[in-house]
Amino acid sequence: MMVSMSKRMNRQASANQTRSRRPIKQRRTFTLSHESVAFLEELSACRKKSRGQESVSAVLDNLLLAIGKDKERQENEDKIGKYYDERSDKERQEEIEWGKLATGEFLAIELDKYRE
């Protein structure tokens, strides 16, 4: 009796750990055009998983996550561009000088390789 109870408790603990690793998802209902639904179903059919095709919900979720990541990437690129655009002439000149120094060091290292 004690052994079977222990096994059941281990299975339950294992199942709880598996559930806790999965991202929490929320159920929502959306009204989509016929074309959008057809497109999602087509993508679903093209994306095979080991257990069959990927669900339409998973396809939509992946598309939205990709759009979010792309938006974040674009925002970061804009911030970086703004930083470089707003540098003073002194900062730009200093960076040019550092670039020249680095290029000279790189060339020296490469030339030393050929001399050996």
Instruction: Indicate whether 100 and 71 sit together in one domain.
Output: no
pLDDT tens across 58-97, in order? 999 999 999 999 999 999 999 999 999 999 999 999 999 9
Number of domains into which the chain is organized? 2
Which residues constitute the domain of residue 105? Answer: 89-116
Average pLDDT over every residue of 18-38: 86
Looking at the DSSP bridge assignments, the partners of residue 48 are 53
108 and 71 within one domain: no
Co-location of 81 and 101 in the same domain: no
Do 10 and 63 belong to one domain?
Answer: yes
Asked if 38 and 70 sit in the same domain, the reply is yes
- Beta carbons of 64 and 72 less than 8 angstroms apart: no
81 and 96 share one domain: no
Q: What is the pLDDT of residue 52?
A: 75
Residue 78, pLDDT score: 98
58 and 8 co-located in one domain:
yes
**Placement of tokens 């120094």 in the chain:** 101
> Do residues 52 and 67 share a domain?
yes
Helical pair 56-85 and 34-46, crossing angle rounded to 10 deg:
100
